[in-house]
Structure 1
Amino acid sequence: MSARLSYQYVVLRCVPRVDREEFVNVGVVLHCQAADYLDVAWQVDRERLAALFPALDLDRVCDALAFVEGVCAGDERGGVAAGTPIGQRFGFLRAPKSTVLQPGPVHGGVTEDPARQLERLLHTLVG
């Protein structure tokens, strides 16, 4: 029998106009402390975002998501935050921000495979 591991995740939201509080889900960050796992999966539907928010710089959204990838991976794309322990990196990524890319509330669950759970969450919550 495989071990059941607890995890936490946040949905990453593209929020083009913070004042209107409108958003589109574009990614998920999943942290599983027991497995020493932190990763992001994302998908930007450029046509949908361009239709909803014509003035949005879609390359800026993708750059912000690449930064999140760097933080998760612990590489240079994530700047200073990438050099901290995994738990602190997740704390950094889940903190509220007033930028075009914002995390939603923290949720949790249990899984036997954090990577597979991340893909499930991406499919369910982002599309």
Structure 2
Amino acid sequence: MQKKHLFEYAVIRVVPRVEREEFINVGVILYCADQKYLKSLFEINETRLSAFICEIEPDVILSNLKAIEKICCGGIDAGPIGNLDIASRFRWLTATRSTVVQASKVHPGFCIDAEKTLDKLFNQLVL
């Protein structure tokens, strides 16, 4: 039997008007310490986004989501945050914010393969 590993994830949300607290799930961030894994997947559904009164261009949202992706990968391209260890980058990405792109509360689980688990969560919670 394969060993199960503790993972944590958060849903990435677009909150077009922060004061209304309405949101659209656009991605998932998954962190698994045992597998040294931190990755995000995202997709902007412009049809869903257009259902909200949104003065933000999809390109601006996409830019923010790509920054999350860079921070997950780490390194110099991610700026100063990219130099932090994986756990610290995950905590930074999932910290509470009052911005247009936010993360949900962090949820735990167990997985065998973090990549497959991320794909499954993305399909269940975003698509």
Query: Which interval holds the TM-score relative to the shorter structure?
Result: over 0.9
Residue number in structure 2 paired with 1:86: 86
Q: 1:18-71 CA distances to partner (integer Å, 9 max, x unpaired)?
A: 100000000000000111100001111012212323422111111010000000
TM normalised by structure 2 equals: 0.95
Q: SS at the partner of 2:67?
A: helix
TM normalised by structure 1 equals: 0.95
Flag as ranges the 4+ runs of structure 1 deviating above 3 A. Answer: none
Q: Please, which runs of 5 or more residues in structure 1 have no aligned partner?
A: none
* Alpha-carbon distance in structure 2 between the residues aligned to 1:24 and 1:81: 26
Q: SS at the partner of 2:99?
A: coil
The count of corresponding residues between Structure 1 and Structure 2 is 127
Q: Please, which runs of 5 or more residues in structure 2 have no aligned partner?
A: none
Is the 1:70–1:76 contact (alpha carbons within 8 Å) kept by the matching residues of 2?
A: no
* Alpha-carbon distance in structure 2 between the residues aligned to 1:125 and 1:99: 20
Q: Match for 1:63: what amino acid?
A: S
Give the share of equivalent positions with the same residue, in percent.
Answer: 36
Is the 1:50–1:56 contact (alpha carbons within 8 Å) kept by the matching residues of 2?
A: no
